Amino acid sequence: MSTEAAHFSGVASRPPGARSWHLRLIRRPLFPQTPPIAGVGPLTQQTAIVVHFPRHGENGMARRELTVQRHEEIKRRLADGRSVREIASALSCSRRLVREIRDGARLTHALAVSADPLWMSQIEWPLIIHDLGLGHPLKFLWEEKAQSLTTYSNFWKQFYRRFPQYREASVTARTFEAGERVEVDYAGDPIEWYEIKTGEIRKAYVFVSGLGFSQLLFAWAAEDMKSRNWIASHRRMFTYYGGAPHVTVPDCLRQGVVKCHLYDPDLNEDYAHMAAHFSTAIVPARVRKPKDKAIVEGLVKILCRYFRFRFRRSRFTSVAEINRALMVCVERINDQRHRRFGVSRRECFETIERAALKALPSTEYDGGEWKEAKLHPDCFVAVEGDYYSAPHIHRHKTLRIKLTENQVEIFLNLERLAVHARCRMKTGQRIKIAEHFPPNSDAYYEATPQRLLSQSRFIHPDLNALFVELFNEDVFAHIRRAMGLVSACTKEIKLVGHELAGVRIAAAIAAMRRYNRIRAPYFKELLDQARKQAVNPQAGRDIVRKPGNPMLRYVGGAALQAADEPSFPSAAVQESRPL
């Protein structure tokens, strides 16, 4: 073996625990007094630099990793004022490592600060931090500001290296069978829209759902989160999916769950009826356990961040406009290739999960929202800002109201009392049916000029002409007088018939015109006189009483009494007689 080879083998065979072998190599020449080798030429100092020796610690078996405890111990000794050489000797580490920790080049035990890539100096990181704080996804910010500079993987690695406080915690992925479940929830932040007519800023609440297998997204906005919109959003969701999954997982909100329970929650009656119609089981998530519906929670975050980012410079003026914008975002998210699945949500749904869903019912779901209301003395119930009539015999009773898309049905127990067309004006409109009111209420509601004119035409032409004259003079001053005249005429017709009553009505109207006394009491007096004359047609002849009737005081009886009793002269006659 040559001298050089012996030298190499000697160096390689040194025990790893020898401490100052590297220092001795540095202090003395690498090839001291080495004779030239045939065919190689003399070895110079420049030739010796090319030769690489494995440094202590590069070998996997001899390397001693820097743990958290050793890192903290080095920092503690540096804080105590110990020298670099003393710390390196005491902890069996290199002085270079101690200097890196002292100078801040190595922040943690596992990560050393390296030089930033050149593309990082071309990005305005404060703006990225600001947009990220607004809730915009990091990937969208990369697409807008750094896509032409580097890849997304390099971007987020360098971002989290530079700003480790924004790194998110890890999550556990869950897997479900195709068609097994759908998770539903409302987005946390409502979307504001501007009403042009009134200038008010209103809010729209977004319903979000996601299938468990393909994670196909659906979203729909409504003006509130009441029960009717909650159920209507489910109907739209099932229609969008083209079927119903086996399980529906909502949150424990009042529109779906009346009373929360870990094993047996009480469901809302309307919600349970809707679930039975679509043959899906309602399994609410546990209270304050958002991970029970982690799929829809993640979809809510994805949808809201993308919606705010894409339409951050837009102003909406209606809920319909918000829904159109939501569908644009939904289709964009569903058609985007999923990084974990390798396919888009839409493709996964169409190829696998659509066939596993239950078929939709052949009949459309008409079960609306149920409410309870008391029938007031005016025969109306107040529902959604408007008033609907019900039969007056059920006043002061609590009735059940069923609100559908186009109808309002009123029930007492299992009996349906009334059906009205639904009014959505919410301005106190009164929707009534005439048969629901008592006679006095009918008379009140029918007391209109048009109604009175119509009645007068059927009673008598002279009465109609009189009403026209009165209403042309002053409608509101003569409406009660016209009501009294109609009431008297109606009573007369019921008593004697229309033909004979017409003659009397015409005569009474002529008398009122003759004396210019158009009054309801006078009209009734004229009709009463005509009725009495009809009962006793010879009321003007003298009464002839037969004499001799003892029951008559001044006719027969008085004459008989005068004949039986003696007659006495009057006082004047007696005074005139002589004494």
Q: What is the DSSP string of 81-103?
A: T--HHHHHHHHT--HHHHHHHHH
Give the separation between CA 489 and CA 64, rounded to whole angstroms: 118
Ramachandran region, residue 433 (left: φ > 0; alpha: ψ -120 to 50; beta: rest): beta
Give the pLDDT confidence score for residue 133 in this predicted structure.
Answer: 85
- Phi/psi at 106 (5° precision): -120, 115
pLDDT tens, residue by residue, 288-302: 888 899 999 999 999
**Beta-carbon contacts of residue 577 (< 8 Å; ≥ 6 apart):** none
Query: Which parts of the chain have pLDDT scores under 70?
Result: 1-64, 109-114, 169-173, 443, 446, 535-545, 552-579
Contact between 568 and 562 under an 8 Å Cβ cutoff? The reply is no
Contact between 353 and 178 under an 8 Å Cβ cutoff? The reply is yes
pLDDT tens, residue by residue, 548-565: 777 766 544 444 444 444
Query: Which residue do the tokens 């009175």 mark?
Result: 452
The sign of the CA dihedral 79, 83, 85, 86 is negative
| CA distances for 77 relative to 82, 83, 88, 125, angstroms | 6, 8, 10, 36
**What would the two tokens of residue 319 be?**
């809920």
pTM over 0.85: no
